[in-house]
């Protein structure tokens, strides 16, 4: 963890919301700084499963925690959650208890051994696959509370375009779309971007290309997808970086510590740290279309629309 902090300190620890470099960046970009009362809400999303979205979200949380940020991961993959497995915890309460009203967000919150907090999703619970407006309103209230006591709220969203998934994605100020270079993943990523483009107050859309087998392929992949998104969907997307195909990841098993915790100098960990530096820059320079609204208001607006 010390090695992670050393790599992040030159770029992340110097950025303190509301002060110092962040204030200068906002002034330079000519946009208003977000209210210090609410966290930055990042949604990690994908058009299809298996792109590495949850892996990236959990390791990004560890990197932000190492940089001194108060971070919570909210596993919004209500029926097929795995963030608790990646963090190596077995929480007493999950999203099922929270949405049923049995516990509060504070009750469901657990601190992982690796630093970030977690609200676990529901694993193998079919009833969570179909949620009504009342459940989503409960989630909105919980996210509002979590955003008030953290610097970053990372939403690990379900893959695909189902209404429950899109409502959580659109509650964020920034969406990190995670894809792979192959055509099937890119087609589904474009479908997600096109759906986001239709929204009147969409989040800022960013792209990470995971499992890249040659340096530079991620940027080339982004350039093609960005051109298509701009031309046919009228949506600008922003490049965060590529993550290489890495045996340190493909050979991992559940029960092992997250990669950024025990192998901070491997190529994938270094790529994640670079992505986090780009995340900080994007957060600092790009205002959300619904600036001034909190996460609960954004989510409730989407519940009414969907």
The model's pLDDT over 25-61, given as tens digits with 9 standing for 90+, comes to 333 333 334 444 579 999 999 999 999 999 999 999 9
- The encoded tokens of residue 60 equal 């990004």
CATH code of domain 2-9+37-305: 3.40.50.300
Label residue 152 exposed, middle or buried (CB < 10 Å: 0-12, 13-18, 19+).
buried
pLDDT digits (tens, 9 = 90+) for 177-231: 999 999 999 999 999 999 999 998 889 999 999 999 999 999 999 999 999 999 9
Are 238 and 204 within 8 A, CB to CB?
A: yes
Are 275 and 243 within 8 A, CB to CB?
A: yes
**More confident call, 87 vs 131:** 87
Q: Give CA–CA dist 64/152, Å, rounded.
A: 8
Q: Give CA–CA dist 41/35, Å, rounded.
A: 12
Are 156 and 120 within 8 A, CB to CB?
A: no
Share the mean pLDDT of the chain: 86
Q: Give CA–CA dist 65/59, Å, rounded.
A: 10
Work out the average pLDDT over 88-105.
93
CA distances (Å), origin 219, targets 188, 222, 223, 277:
18, 5, 6, 16
Q: Which of 129, 95, 151, 162 is nearest to 302 (CA)?
A: 162
The confidence score (pLDDT) of residue 292 equals 64
Please report, rounded to a whole number, the percentage of residues in the chain having pLDDT higher than 90.
68
Rg (CA), the chain: 18
The confidence score (pLDDT) of residue 80 equals 82
Residue with tokens 């990669």, as numbered in its chain: 259
Q: Which of 53, 48, 51 is nearest to 159 (CA)?
A: 48
CA distances (Å), origin 93, targets 76, 196, 263:
14, 32, 30
The confidence score (pLDDT) of residue 288 equals 72
């Amino acid at each position: 963890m010390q090695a992670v902090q050393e790599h992040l300190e030159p770029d992340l620890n110097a950025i303190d919301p509301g002060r110092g470099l962040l204030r200068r960046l906002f002034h330079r970009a000519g946009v208003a700084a977000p209210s210090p009362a609410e966290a930055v809400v990042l949604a990690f999303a994908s058009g299809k499963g298996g792109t590495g979205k949850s892996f990236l979200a959990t390791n990004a949380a560890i990197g932000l925690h190492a940089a001194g940020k108060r971070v919570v991961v909210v596993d919004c993959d209500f029926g097929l959650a795995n963030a608790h497995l990646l963090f190596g915890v077995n929480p007493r309460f999950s999203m099922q208890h929270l949405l049923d009203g049995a516990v509060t967000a504070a009750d469901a919150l657990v601190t992982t051994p690796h630093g970030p907090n977690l609200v676990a999703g529901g694993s193998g619970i079919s009833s969570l696959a179909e949620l009504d407006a009342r459940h989503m309103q409960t989630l909105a209230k919980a996210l509002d509370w979590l955003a008030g006591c953290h610097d970053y709220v990372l939403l690990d969203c379900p893959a695909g375009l189902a209404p429950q998934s899109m409502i959580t994605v659109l509650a964020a100020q920034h969406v990190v779309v995670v894809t792979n270079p192959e055509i099937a993943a890119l087609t589904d990523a474009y479908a997600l971007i096109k759906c986001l483009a239709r929204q009147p107050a969409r989040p800022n859309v960013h792209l990470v290309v995971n499992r890249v087998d040659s340096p530079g392929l991620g940027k080339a992949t982004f350039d093609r997808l960005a051109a298509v998104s701009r031309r046919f969907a009228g949506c600008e997307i922003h490049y965060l970086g590529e993550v290489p195909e890495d045996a340190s990841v493909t050979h991992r098993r559940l029960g092992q510590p997250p990669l950024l915790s025990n192998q901070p100098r491997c190529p994938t960990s270094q790529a994640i740290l670079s992505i986090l530096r780009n995340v900080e820059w994007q957060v600092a320079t790009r205002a959300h279309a619904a600036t001034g609204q909190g996460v609960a208001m954004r989510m409730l607006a989407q519940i009414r629309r969907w």
